[in-house]
Amino acid sequence: MIGIDWYLALSAVLFIIGVIGVLIRRNAIVILMCVELMLNSVNISLIAFASHHGDITGQVLVFFVLAVAAAEAVIGLAIILAIFRNNLSIDITKVNLLRW
């Protein structure tokens, strides 16, 4: 039987892949997918902790995270659509009108 720590390590690895993806990619859609990956990796941690504690709270939180992730995806894609209409590109390095 695999211990909880392996699930947690897997979750940390996936989270870091997501973070690095957000920071290095330039395509807004891929960045959004990396954010989804981050949320998803946290879900693994939550469910692993819930299993460890024999408690349902973690699973309920995962349920809410799924709802939030869906909402974020919808809003994010709508914003990307609006950006595309203005710029004909979803490359975030070309979205730089506002600079201090």
Residues 43-72 that bind other proteins (CB under 8 A): 43-72
Kindly tell me the burial class for residue 48, based on how many C-beta atoms sit within 10 Å of its own C-beta (0-12, 13-18, 19 or more): buried
Q: Shortest Cβ distance from residue 81 to other proteins (Å)?
A: 5
Q: Shortest Cβ distance from residue 5 to other proteins (Å)?
A: 5
Binding to other proteins, residues 9-28 (CB under 8 A):
9-10, 12-28
Q: Shortest Cβ distance from residue 94 to other proteins (Å)?
A: 10
